[in-house]
Chains A and B, each alone.
Chain A
Amino acid sequence: MTNVILSTKGLIKRFGGLVAVNSVNLDLERGSILGLIGINGAGKTTVMNCVNGLYRSDGGTVHFDGQDITHWTPHAIAHAGIGRTFQVPRVFQRMTLIDNLLVTSLDSKETDADLIERAEHFLKRVSLVELRHNHGEELSGGQQKLLELARVMMFDPALILLDEPFAGVNPALCRLFIERIQELRDSGKSFLLVSHDLTSIYRLSSRIVVLNQGEVIAKGGVNDIKNDPAVIEAYLGQ
Chain B
Amino acid sequence: MNEVLLLNAAIGGIVFGAVYALIGCSLNVLAGVLRVINFAHGEFIIAGSFFAYVLFTAFALNPLYALPLCAVVFYFAGRVLYYLLVPRLAKSDEPETSSFLLMFGVSLMMVSVMTWIFEADIRPFNFSFEPINVTFFTIQDAYGEGRHGRILVPTARLVALGINAIIIMGLTWFFYRTLPGKALRAATMDREAVQIVGINIHKLSSIAFGLATALAGVTGVLLAVVVPSIDPNGGPDIVLIGFIVIVLGGLGHPVGALVAGILFGFVEQFSNVMLQQAAAQMVGFIILVAVILVRPSGLFGKAVTK
A-to-B contact residues, CB < 8 Å = 52-54, 73-75, 78-79, 83-84, 86, 90-95, 99-100, 102-107, 151-152, 155
Q: Across the interface, name the chain A residue whose C-beta is closest to B193.
A: A90
Task: Collect the chain B residues with CB atoms within 8 Å of residue A95's CB.
Answer: 182, 185-186, 189
Q: CB distance B197 to A155 under 8 Å?
A: yes
| 15 further contact pairs, Cβ within 8 A, besides A78-B196, A104-B198 | A53-B195, A54-B195, A73-B200, A79-B198, A83-B196, A91-B193, A99-B182, A99-B186, A100-B186, A103-B186, A104-B199, A106-B198, A107-B198, A155-B197, A155-B198
> In the complex the two chains form, is A90's CB within 8 Å of B190's CB?
yes
What separation, in Å, do the CA atoms of A107 and B194 have in the docked complex? 13
Chain B residues with a Cβ under 8 A of chain A: 179-180, 182-183, 185-186, 189-190, 192-201
A75/B189 contact (C-beta < 8 A), A95-B182, A102-B182, A106-B180 known: no
Q: A75-B195, A104-B198 are in contact. Are A94 and B189 (CB under 8 A)?
A: yes
Residues of A within 8 A of B186 (CB): 92, 95, 99-100, 103
Asked if A106 contacts B199 (CB within 8 A), the reply is yes
B192 contacts A103, CB within 8 Å?
no
Interface of B is mostly: helix
Nearest Cβ on chain A to B155's Cβ, whole angstroms: 39
- Whole-angstrom distance between the Cβ of B22 and the nearest chain A Cβ: 22
Task: Check A102 against B198 for contact (C-beta < 8 Å).
Answer: no
**How far is B188's CA from A94's CA once the two chains are assembled, in angstroms?**
10
Pair B182/A104 contact, Cβ less than 8 Å: no
Q: How far is the CA of A39 from the CA of B66 in the complex (A)?
A: 63
Q: Give, as a whole number of angstroms, the nearest-CB distance from A76 to chain B.
A: 8
- The tally of CB-CB contacts under 8 A between chains A and B is 67
Instruction: Give the residue name and chain of the B residue nearest to A108 (CB).
Output: B179
Within the complex, what minimum Cβ distance (angstroms) separates B252 from chain A? 10
| A105 closest partner in B (C-beta) | B179
Assembled-state Cα–Cα distance A207/B200 (Å): 34
For B179, the chain A residues whose CB sits under 8 A away are 102-103, 105-106
Measured CA separation A83–B193 after assembly (Å): 11
Report which of B182, B185, B192, B197 forms a contact with A54, defined as CB distance below 8 A.
B192
- Separation in Å of the A208 CB from the closest CB of chain B? 25
Residue among B179, B190, B196 with most chain A CB within 10 A: B196
A86 to B190, CA, bound (A): 13
When chains A and B are docked, how far (Å) is the Cα of A167 from the Cα of B185?
A: 28
With a 10 A CB-CB cut-off, give which of A54, A86, A90 has the most chain B CB atoms: A90
Contacts A103-B182, A103-B199, A106-B199 given; does A92 touch B192 at CB 8 Å? no
Taken together as a complex, chains A and B put the C-alpha atoms of A94 and B300 apart, in Å, by 12
Q: Is the CB of B180 within 8 A of A74?
A: no
Nearest CB on B from A60, distance (A): 21
- In the complex, what's the smallest C-beta–C-beta distance from A91 to chain B, in angstroms? 8
Task: Give the residues in chain A near B192, CB-CB below 8 Å.
Answer: 54, 74, 90
Contacts of B185 in A (CB 8 A): 92, 94-95
For A73, list chain B residues within 8 Å (CB).
195, 200
